[in-house]
Structure 1
Amino acid sequence: MTTTDDFRVHAHELIRDLDAATTQMMSLVSAHQLSGPEWERTTRWQHEAYERWMNYLNERSYGDPGNNDQSR
Structure 2
Amino acid sequence: MTTTDDFRAQAHALIADLDAATSEMMSLISAHQLSGPEWERVTRWQHEAYERWMTYLNTRSYPGTTDDPANC
How would you bin the TM-score normalised by the shorter chain?
A: 0.7 to 0.9
Runs of 4+ in 1 over 6 A off after TM superposition: none
Q: What is residue 9 of structure 1 aligned with on the other side?
A: 9
> Could you say which residue in structure 2 is the equivalent of 1:65?
none
> How many corresponding residue pairs?
66
Q: Distance in 1 between matches of 2:67 and 2:61?
A: 13
2:51 equivalent to 1:51 = yes
Cα offset, 1:3, TM superposition: 0.4
For residue 19 of structure 1, what is the aligned residue in structure 2?
19
Name the CA distance, whole Å, in 2 between partners of 1:5 and 1:61: 14
Identity over the aligned pairs, expressed in percent?
79
- TM-score (norm: length of structure 1): 0.84
- How do 1:33-44 residues align onto structure 2 when only pairs under 5 Å count? 33-44=33-44
Structure 2 residues without counterparts, runs of 5 or longer: none
